[in-house]
Structure formats: structure tokens, C-alpha cells
Amino acid sequence: MSTWERYINHFVSFLKIEKGLSENSVLAYERDVVKLKEYALPELEHPKDVTREELKSFINALVEVGLSARSQARIISGIKQFYNFLILEDEVKDDPSELIEMPKIGRKLPEVLSIEEIDNLIAAIDLSKKEGLRNRAILETLYSCGLRVSELINLKFSDLFLDEGFIRVTGKGNKQRLVPASPSVKNEIFTYKHEIRDFQDIKSGNEPYVFLNRRGAKLTRIMIFTIIRELSNKINLSKTISPHTFRHSFATHLLEGGANLRAIQEMLGHESITTTEIYTHLDQRFLREAILSYHPRNKK
């Protein structure tokens, strides 16, 4: 039994015996905490390892999957109850959920970065370090292709069709879509691969993945979040950002530039759109033209 499971079981007993909650209420609270556990593992092995920033990243993920403000509020409430319990039991000292606000109906969308802010973040990358070229390729790919962080870390070389101007993305439910890749993405991945990636010692089983850490293993969500947070601090960015911010900026900049909303939905890979619909509803050439015409990275 993992540390998370042990504490969740104790939490459930506390709700039943000491709080006297109904079975349905207990099950709802348990489901809420399990969602956080599944998001946090395997990087965060103990509930005390969850920071406020990582909890905000989890909440951004709830927004990304389209969860209603009411559903978000219920999950956050369950997590707050869980950490209140852990503090009561003296299992954690700091409550990461303490300053997390409950969402309101009509809550504002996540932060959007301006093109200048994105350029400043990328310019702040230290290219004298080996991971510099990798980090630059990561940020370009996140922004230019509008990927979820899970889609980025699972990107394989077999998914790259850069000469044709596309990458294949495996999204939620293993649904695949083709996303146009700008020349800047092609250039950054090419440079990273031929100057850094090709000379790495790679752990067995990690060979197919594009982005690796210094030990030759696939990157994790938390590592991507850390890269972005450090760059944000470096340029004194006032906005609170996460990997999702680049995805949201991608969609916002396309929409503001005049791109067709349906094309944006296809490229984001919303859950309501299946792999087959990519081919039956919109021609790939049309999607590519939308990226080339409206995304800032492709404008002369």
C-alpha cells in the first residue's frame, strides 16, 4: 500500500467515524483526493510533497479538461478537507490548499502570455548548459503546437513528420491527431537532436522519446513545470504560469489572429473530437494553412 493510499484510507475512516458523513459524501471526498493522488504520482510520493504551485497546476488541469466551475469547487473542497485532516493528525505542517480560492461561476480563463513574454521566456534560457537547447525546443513545441504537458513528454520520434510540417499527438483516451508544426519547431527539435540528444547515454526503454533528462530518461510533468517556473522567476514575470499557459496562449493567439474556431478545436484535440473526425470534418491542408496564416511564429 502506497503512502497516499494509507492516508486516504485514514481520511475515509475519519469522515465516517468522527465526522459522521453519509456514505455518498465520503465516497465523493475520496474520489476527489484520489484524483490528486493520480495526478501527483509517481513524482510526489507523499501528500506533504504537494506544494501550492503544484496544486495550482492540478487545478489548471481540471480547467483544461473542461470541468465545470461547480465540479472544480467540489474537488478543491475535498482536497481542503483532506489537508485539514492531515494537519489535525500532525502528518503535514503546511497546507498547500490554504490559499487556493474556490472557483466562481464564470471564473476567468487561465493567464495568457503575450508574444513578447513568450519570447522573453525563451530568450532567458541558458544555452551554455546542455539542457538549454532541449528547453528551448520544449517551449517552442508547447507554444507552437498547443500541446498538453502529458502529450509533450510522451512525444516520440516516430510521431515527428517535420519535413511534411506535422507532428502526431496522442491525447486523452489514446486518441491521435495531427498538429501542424511551424518551421521554428522543426529547427529547434532538429538542433536539440543533433547537438545534444544524439550524444546522450539513454536508459533502456527511453530511446523512442524526444525529450529526455540528463540521465537519459523521459521527462515528467513536474520537471516541465519546474523549467517554466524557473524561467518565469528569472524574468520576474508577474503572471502565475504553467505548461497549460502555453497551450492556452496558442489557442488565444490563433483566435485573435482570425483562425477558424473549429480548426483550433481540432488542433487542441478536445475530447469530443475523435481521430476519425480529423479526416472527415477538416482537411489537414486546411489546418496547416490556419497555423501558417494565423500563428505568430509563422508571420514574417
19 in catalytic set: no
**To which CATH superfamily is domain 115-298 assigned?**
Intergrase catalytic core (1.10.443.10)
Condensed to tens digits (0 to 9), the pLDDT of residues 259-296 reads 766 677 778 886 543 322 322 333 455 556 666 666 77
Count of CB atoms situated within 10 Å of the CB of 203 = 13
Identify the sign of the CA torsion 136, 137, 140, 142.
negative
| Nearest CA among 103, 94, 109, 108 for reference residue 54 | 94
**Residue ranges per structural domain of the chain:** 3-88, 115-298
Instruction: Give the three cell numbers for residue 45.
Output: 510520493
State yes or no: is 281 an active-site residue: no
Q: What percent of the chain has pLDDT over 90?
A: 47
One of 6, 129, 130, 172 is an active-site residue; which one?
172
Q: Is 148 a catalytic residue?
A: yes
- Residue 136: all three cell numbers together: 528551448
Active site residue 270: yes
Q: What is the pLDDT of residues 136-171, one digit of tens each?
A: 999 999 999 999 999 999 999 999 999 999 999 998
DSSP string, 128-175: TSHHHHHHHHHHHHHHHHT--HHHHHT-BGGGEETTTTEEEEE-GGG-
Report, as an integer, the average pLDDT of 161-186: 91
Of the residues 80, 168, 270, 281, only one is catalytic, namely 270
68 CB burial (10 A radius; 0-12, 13-18, 19+): exposed
pLDDT tens for each residue of 54-98 = 888 888 877 776 677 777 888 889 999 999 999 988 888 888 888
Q: What is the pLDDT of residue 199?
A: 93
Residue of 234, 279, 285, 299 marked active site: 279
Return the CATH architecture of domain 3-88: Orthogonal Bundle (1.10)
Select which of 134, 221, 244, 288 is catalytic: 244
Question: How high is the mean pLDDT of the chain?
Answer: 84
215 included as an active-site residue? no
134 part of the active site? no
Catalytic residue among 148, 218, 248, 297: 148
Which one of 56, 221, 247, 295 is the catalytic residue?
A: 247
* Residue type present at position 118: I
